[in-house]
Amino acid sequence: MTVAQSSKAFKVRSRRALLDNDLREALGRARGGFVEQRRAAFEALPEFEALRDAANEIREHTLSHLDYYLERYAANVEINGGTVHWASTAEDMNRIVVDICRRAGAKLVTKGKSMVSEETDLHHALKAAGIERMETDLGEYIIQLADEPPSHIIAPAVHKTRAQITELFHANHARFGIEGRAEDRTAIVAEARRVLREAFLSADVGITGANFLIAETGSNIIVTNEGNGDLTSCLPKVHIVTAGIEKVIPTLEDLSVFLRLLGRSATGQEMSAYSTLYSGPARPGDSDGPAEYHVVLLDNGRSTMLGNEFHEMLRCIRCGACLNHCPVYSHIGGHAYGWVYSGPMGSVLTPLFKGLEESYDLPNACTLNGRCQEVCPMRIPLPSLLRRLRQRQVEAKITPARQRLALSMWSRLAARPRVYRFVTNLSMRSMAWLGRRRGALRYLPAGRGWTRGRDMPAPEGATFMTRWRRRGEQDT
């Protein structure tokens, strides 16, 4: 895709989003709740900054010895009786997962929410292999029915209104013998429970993500509120965990630091309802649990990122706080960003995964207001990373020529104070004259972007520097 195309795609999607009243309603409701709940949770936690320091220290320590920790983690998974698979690319991961499913003779897999599987587009690989997939997180299930990507990393269906969900269920649940419409929230949740319960009990393979991998014990931890991740992990005879290589942390004590930050940052909860550590398949004598336990460790560019100027992004714990506090995200929603990661963290990750050109707009469609960095539990300098991406775009000449020209003209002018003084004084005086009646201009020939939605307040006339000089001359 060329810049013009991808740019258009973002602009079209974001404009469509701005005009979508259902989306506006859904996003408006979500924003207030998340922001307020997070604020209250951290207000009640004087140790917040100390926890952030500790979490960053742990992440930096682990990342700078990542090879060691991955090997240690893998060794412990194997001691627990599990199998570790290493996937360099998205295709590798999909192939490994499909192979495991095939060997298990799987017809139906249940899936817990996993951003990594969205990243590799595992859904299509499963579909191509003729394996049916049921998403079990209610939000993921809703968007699976709608055949849409998630619009938020922790609330995938945040863009859907209740009425839309009612209709989706109605259109899809006849095959389970469900006739009427589930209208209120309780009925919707009950219907999902009923439908998904069947899937949990009959699935051959369960696929989950992992919030963290613990090297000390060879465990993965899954944090959910619904308990769907646990039913996916415990019931099928094969459990597959998919996780990015950056998810590993050293010890259980380290885990506690992250758990204190994760729920509070995401939804304002001290602890989500279920935080469960899984270490391998069923043990001798166990009456439930999977017979096979697999972990697929995905690289997909992360090991390269570790050594470049975007390595700070590997600290991300996918809490979603940056999305919830982003004024751009909260107006356009996640789909406008065009890929699975959205908002500030997505605007950094997507260009790194998908290419600077294809995602031209993402780093640019940001005011660099810094609220994301302020709330990020990992203190990731998201605005600086976005600015760095813009620099790479300029260097690669992906930035539109017109913009580059305008900026370089301005910069060259700014580097010549005398000429600058003359040109600006003249321009301001003419603009002031044009706007003298209204005090503002409705239209600017060279600034249509500005005057599309607002007037340009008229300048006062001669520039400050001109007037200052005059004042100096009068004084002397």
For binding to ligand SF4 (CB under 6 A), which residues are involved? 265, 316-322, 345, 376-378, 380
Residues 297-316 contacting other proteins, CB under 8 A = 297, 299, 303-308, 311
83 binds, among other proteins, ligand SF4, none (CB under 5 to 8 A by kind): none
407 binds, among other proteins, ligand SF4, none (CB under 5 to 8 A by kind): other proteins
The nearest distance, CB 355 to other proteins, in angstroms, is 16
Give the CA count within 13 Å in the CB-facing half-sphere of 378: 23
What does the CA dihedral 103, 107, 113, 115 come to, rounded to 10 degrees? 60
The nearest distance, CB 267 to other proteins, in angstroms, is 7
Q: Pick the closer one to other proteins by CB: 120 or 130.
A: 120
Among 3, 23, 41, 87, the residue binding other proteins under the rule CB under 8 A is 87
172 binds other proteins (CB under 8 A): no
133 binds, among ligand SF4, other proteins, none (CB under 5 to 8 A by kind): none
Binding mask 259-278 for other proteins (x = CB under 8 A): xx------x-xxxxxxxxxx
149 binds other proteins (CB under 8 A): no
Q: By CB under 8 A, which span of 100-108, 114-122, 155-163, 340-348 interacts with other proteins?
A: 155-163
41 binds, among ligand SF4, other proteins, none (CB under 5 to 8 A by kind): none
468 binds other proteins (CB under 8 A): yes
The nearest distance, CB 376 to ligand SF4, in angstroms, is 3
Residues 350-409 contacting other proteins, CB under 8 A = 364-371, 373-374, 387-395, 399, 403-404, 407-408
195-199 long-range contacts (CB < 8 A, ≥24 apart) are: 196/110, 196/134, 196/136, 196/141, 196/228, 199/108, 199/110, 199/134, 199/136
376 binds, among other proteins, ligand SF4, none (CB under 5 to 8 A by kind): ligand SF4
Among 4, 68, 426, 430, the residue binding other proteins under the rule CB under 8 A is 68
Among 279, 318, 379, 434, the residue binding other proteins under the rule CB under 8 A is 279
108 binds, among ligand SF4, other proteins, none (CB under 5 to 8 A by kind): none
The nearest distance, CB 93 to ligand SF4, in angstroms, is 21
Q: Pick the closer one to ligand SF4 by CB: 51 or 235.
A: 51
126 binds, among ligand SF4, other proteins, none (CB under 5 to 8 A by kind): none
Q: Pick the closer one to other proteins by CB: 127 or 396.
A: 396
Q: By CB under 8 A, which span of 97-105, 126-134, 153-161, 339-347 interacts with other proteins?
A: 153-161
Q: What is the 3-state secondary structure (H, E, C) of the chain?
A: CCHHHHHHHHHHHHHHHHHCHHHHHHHHHHHHHHHHHHHHHHHCCCCHHHHHHHHHHHHHHHHCCHHHHHHHHHHHHHHCCCEEEEECCHHHHHHHHHHHHHHCCCCEEEECCCHHHHHHCHHHHHHHCCCEEEECCHHHHHHHHHCCCCCCCCCCCCCCCHHHHHHHHHHHCHHHCCCCCCCCHHHHHHHHHHHHHHHHHHCCEEEECCCEEECCCCEEEEEECCCHHHHHHHCCCEEEEEEEHHHEECCHHHHHHHHHHHHHHHHCCCCCCEEEEECCCCCCCCCCCCCEEEEEEECCCHHHHCCCCCHHHHHCCCCCHHHHCCCCHHHHCCHHHCCCCCHHHHHHHHHHHHCCCCCCHHHHCCCCCCHHHHHCCCCCCHHHHHHHHHHHHHHCCCCCHHHHHHHHHHHHHHCCHHHHHHHHHHHHHHHHHHCCCCCEECCCCCCHHHHCCCCEECCCCCCHHHHHHHHHHHHC
- For residue 309, give the amino acid letter: E
142 binds, among ligand SF4, other proteins, none (CB under 5 to 8 A by kind): other proteins
Q: Pick the closer one to other proteins by CB: 100 or 130.
A: 100
230 binds other proteins (CB under 8 A): yes
Residues 330-359 contacting other proteins, CB under 8 A = 331-332
Residues 105-124 contacting other proteins, CB under 8 A = none
201 binds, among ligand SF4, other proteins, none (CB under 5 to 8 A by kind): other proteins
